[in-house]
Amino acid sequence: MIACKTLISKGAGPKEGDPHSHGYTLFDTEIAASRVAMGWDAAPFTVPDDIAKAWKSVGRRGARVRKAWEAGLKASAHAAEFTRAISGALPAKAFEAVDAHIATMAQTKPANATRVHSGAALDHLIPSIPEMIGGSADLTGSNNTFVKGMKAFDTPDYAGRYVHYGVREFGMAAAMNGMALHGGVIPYSGTFLAFADYSRAAIRLGALMGAKVIHVMTHDSIGLGEDGPTHQPVEQVASLRAIPNLLVFRPCDAVEAAECWKIALEQTSTPSVMALSRQKTPGVRGSGDQNLSAKGAYELLAAEGGAAAVTIFATGTEVALAVAAREVLQGQGKPTRVVSVPCWELFEQQPAAYRQAVIGTAARRVAVEAGIRQGWDRFIGEDGGFVGMTGFGASAPFERLYKEFGITAEAVVQAAI
pLDDT on residue 315: 98
Q: Are 281 and 398 in contact (CB under 8 A)?
A: no
Say which CATH topology domain 293-416 has: Rossmann fold (3.40.50)
Supply the DSSP string of 359-396, one letter for each residue: H---SEEEEE-SS--TTTHHHH-TTSEEES-SS---SS
CA 293 to chain centre: 15
Q: Are 181 and 151 in contact (CB under 8 A)?
A: no
What is the per-residue pLDDT across 174-200, written as a single tens digit (0 to 9) for each? 999 999 999 999 999 999 999 999 999
pLDDT on residue 390: 97
Q: Are 366 and 384 in contact (CB under 8 A)?
A: yes
Compute the distance between CA of residue 315 and CA of residue 151 in angstroms, rounded to an integer: 34
The catalytically annotated residue of 169, 256, 318, 369 is 169
Q: How confident is the model at residue 413 (pLDDT cuts 50, 70, 90)?
A: very high
Same fold, 96-281 and 293-416: yes
pLDDT on residue 284: 98
Q: What is the mean pLDDT of residues 34-50?
A: 91
H/E segment holding residue 314: strand 310-314
What is the per-residue pLDDT across 234-270, written as a single tens digit (0 to 9) for each? 999 999 999 999 999 999 999 999 999 999 999 999 9
**% the chain with pLDDT above 90:** 91
Q: What is the mean pLDDT of residues 53-82?
A: 95
C-alpha atoms less than 13 angstroms from C-alpha of 24 in its C-beta half-sphere: 17
Q: Would the pTM of this model clear 0.85, i.e. be above it?
A: yes
Q: How confident is the model at residue 351 (pLDDT cuts 50, 70, 90)?
A: very high
CA dihedral 291, 296, 301, 306 (to 10 degrees): -130
**Beta carbons within 10 angstroms of residue 99's beta carbon:** 17
What is the per-residue pLDDT across 279-303, written as a single tens digit (0 to 9) for each? 999 999 999 999 999 999 999 999 9
HEC per residue, 161-191: CEEECCCCHHHHHHHHHHHHHHCCCEEEEEE
Give the chain's mean pLDDT: 96
Compute the distance between CA of residue 131 and CA of residue 78 in angstroms, rounded to an integer: 13
**% the chain with pLDDT above 70:** 100
**Burial environment of residue 61 by CB neighbours within 10 A (0 to 12, 13 to 18, 19 or more):** exposed
From the list 263, 259, 224, 242, the residue with the least C-alpha distance to 392 is: 224
Q: Which CATH number is 96-281 given?
A: 3.40.50.970
Q: Are 246 and 273 in contact (CB under 8 A)?
A: yes
Q: How confident is the model at residue 46 (pLDDT cuts 50, 70, 90)?
A: very high
Orientation angle between helical segments 114-125 and 254-266, nearest 10 degrees: 50
Q: In the predicted model, is pLDDT for residue 11 greater than 90?
A: no
Higher-pLDDT residue of 371 and 30 is: 371
Q: In the predicted model, is pLDDT for residue 414 greater than 90?
A: yes
pLDDT on residue 38: 87
pLDDT on residue 349: 98
Q: In the predicted model, is pLDDT for residue 330 greater than 90?
A: yes
Compute the distance between CA of residue 94 and CA of residue 391 in angstroms, rounded to an integer: 42
Looking only at the bridges linking them, the beta strands covering 385-387 and 364-368 are parallel
Q: In the predicted model, is pLDDT for residue 31 greater than 90?
A: no
Domain assignments of the chain as residue spans, ordered by start: 96-281, 293-416
399 catalytic residue (yes or no): no
pLDDT on residue 144: 98
Looking only at the bridges linking them, the beta strands covering 112-113 and 310-314 are unpaired
